[in-house]
Amino acid sequence: MNFERENIRRMAGYTSGEQPDNELVIKLNTNENPYPPSPQVSEVLRQFNPESLRRYPPATAQKFRQLAAELHGLDPGNVIATRGGDELLRLVITTFVDPGEKIGMTDPTYSLYPVLAQIQNCPIVEMPLMADWSLPAEFAQSMNDAKVKLTFLVNPHAPTGVLMPIDQVSNLASELNSILLLDEAYINFVDHDYQTSQLIKQHDNLVILRTLSKGYSLAGLRFGYGLADHSLIEPMLNKTRDSYNLDFISQLIAEAAIADQDYVRGNWRKVIIERNRLKVQLHELGIICAESQANFLLATIPESINSGAAELYQQLKERQILVRYFNAARLGDKLRISVGTQEENNQLLSAIKGLVDQH
């Protein structure tokens, strides 16, 4: 007997990046932050009293929502805290999109979006990005013509790192008839002032996704949040969210982390400096990267370098360096490389140089 729903039986599921046990591996494959979380996080863990686990945690993470609201100049009714950004994506679908309604996205995009659409049994409407990975001018019109109910857009884009101008984000929210889920998982690594949170006051169809996984070095914690008009937050917060979606320890850690802005901003600056250096040095080896404002680079590997991207991925892996290879249209000759510490990036560069010299 197979009890799976028909659409679940047909789908393949999400493929996570490799997570090796070996501490010696240089891990540049899943866009984690190479620096540790705030010292305030260690302090929370040091002082934590297990006795407090006897009780259920605050159901809506009120204190975290207050802190996030202050950070973004909004009110707590504009914020929902979720188990990673991924839970927000799932909540937006289950709250606002019926099975059979369409979900729009670009191609390429974050590979979890199509999986979540398949789980809800929603047809996917994809539109290819331009050659420079920018959004086609007719994107909103196409989504509207296809009667899309929810549009996913990742900005800075994954897996390219390309950032859209703010005006374009705002125009898109105006033009779309659907909800726009603006996924800002990588926004902390933008090298200039770029604030979209106030846009939710003008657009009641806009949901902004944030996560503590990348900018706050807390991928293992599973904590994210959404910003939107009250009318979008309210049903997710009070109806579709799991009863206690965030455990007590995570809430305390997330509160400490988001309160320590000076510390995280220092890390963001270090990542930006290393991103720029890595990009220049890869260029010197003949490897051109897209214009990234994220904590990764999408690098095009010429055939002349060790027979291309798939081969280079394998050879780096043999040398204990993991990067991401996507066997997908338009990405087959590319590697996505997360920006590591200066030391890790140097090891990557010297491994590539060694392989190029050998070739």
Ligand X SMILES: Cc1ncc(COP(=O)(O)O)c(C=O)c1O
Scanning 52-60, 80-88, 99-107, 139-147 for contacts with ligand X by CB under 6 A, the matching segment is 80-88
Site size for ligand X, by CB under 6 A?
Answer: 13
If one asks whether residue 64 binds ligand X (CB under 6 A), the answer comes out as no
Scanning 57-65, 82-90, 248-256, 276-284 for contacts with ligand X by CB under 6 A, the matching segment is 82-90
Distance CA 118, CA 103 (A): 10
Q: Which is nearer to ligand X, 92 or 305 (CB)?
A: 92
Distance CA 112, CA 115 (A): 5
Torsion angle of the four alpha carbons 107, 170, 194, 337, in this order, in degrees rounded to the nearest 10: 0
Q: Residue from 213, 245, 293, 345 that binds ligand X (CB under 6 A)?
A: 213
Yes or no: say if 253 and 216 are a contact pair by the CB < 8 Å rule: no
If one asks whether residue 84 binds ligand X (CB under 6 A), the answer comes out as yes
If one asks whether residue 110 binds ligand X (CB under 6 A), the answer comes out as yes
Q: Which residues of 193-219 are buried (b: 16+ CB within 10 A; e: fewer)?
A: ebebbebbeebebbbbbbbbbbbbbbb
Scanning 84-92, 145-153, 255-263, 298-306 for contacts with ligand X by CB under 6 A, the matching segment is 84-92
Q: Which of 115, 125, 120, 117 is nearest to 147 (CA)?
A: 125
If one asks whether residue 86 binds ligand X (CB under 6 A), the answer comes out as yes
Chain CA centroid to CA 161, Å: 10
Question: CA-based angle 184:261:248, to the nearest 5?
Answer: 80
Residues 118-157 interacting with ligand X (rule: CB under 6 A)? 154
Torsion angle of the four alpha carbons 105, 209, 341, 266, in this order, in degrees rounded to the nearest 10: 140
If one asks whether residue 32 binds ligand X (CB under 6 A), the answer comes out as no
Distance CA 241, CA 244 (A): 8
Yes or no: say if 204 and 63 are a contact pair by the CB < 8 Å rule: no
Residue nearest to ligand X (CB): 84
Query: Residue 29 Cβ, how far from ligand X at the closest point, in Å?
Result: 11
Query: Residue 207 Cβ, how far from ligand X at the closest point, in Å?
Result: 12
Q: Residue from 92, 125, 135, 185 that binds ligand X (CB under 6 A)?
A: 185
Q: Residue from 76, 85, 114, 215 that binds ligand X (CB under 6 A)?
A: 85
Query: Residue 189 Cβ, how far from ligand X at the closest point, in Å?
Result: 12
Scanning 79-87, 94-102, 198-206, 239-247 for contacts with ligand X by CB under 6 A, the matching segment is 79-87
What letter represents residue 105's amino acid? M
If one asks whether residue 260 binds ligand X (CB under 6 A), the answer comes out as no
What residues line the site for ligand X (CB under 6 A)?
A: 31, 84-86, 110, 154, 158, 183, 185, 211, 213, 219, 224
